[in-house]
Structure 1
Amino acid sequence: MLEPEDLGERAGAGDPDGAGDEIGDDEDTSLNVPLAPPGRAPQDTDPHAADLEAVAEIARAHAQILGEIEKRIVGQRKVIEHLLTALFARGHCLFVGVPGLAKTLLISTLAETLNLSFSRIQFTPDLMPSDITGTEVLEEDQATGRRTFRFIRGPVFANLVLADEINRTPPKTQAALLQSMQEYRVTAGGTTHELALPFLVFATQNPIEQEGTYPLPEAQLDRFMFQVDVDYPTDAEEEEIVRQQTSDWRPELGRVLSPQRILRLQELVRRVPAADHVVKYAVALARATRPQGDKAPAFIKEYVAWGAGPRASQYLVLAGKARAILDGRFAVSQDDIAALARPTLQHRLILNYRAEAEGVRPGDLIDRLLGVVVP
Structure 2
Amino acid sequence: FLNPNKNKSFLYVTSLRRNLCDTKPKTGILMLNMGGPEKLEDVHDFLLRLFMDTDLMKLPVQNKLGPFIAKRRTPKIQEQYSKIGGGSPIKHWTSMQGEGMVKLLDEMSPETAPHKFYIGFRYVNPLTEEAIEEMEKDGVERAVAFTQYPQYSCSTTGSSLNAIYRYYSNRADRPKMRWSVIDRWPTHPLLVECFAEHVSNELLKFPEEKRDDVVILFSAHSLPMAVVNRGDPYPQEVGATVQRVMEKLGHCNPYRLVWQSRVGPMPWLGPQTDEVIKGLCERGKKNILLVPIAFTSDHIETLHELDIEYGQVLGEECGVENIRRAESLNGNPLFMKALADLVQSHLKSNEPCSRQLTLRCPLCTNPTCGQTKAFFANQKLS
- Could you state the TM-score of these two structures normalised by the residue count of structure 1? 0.26
More helix by share: 2
- Could you state the TM-score of these two structures normalised by the residue count of structure 2? 0.26
Bigger Cα Rg:
1
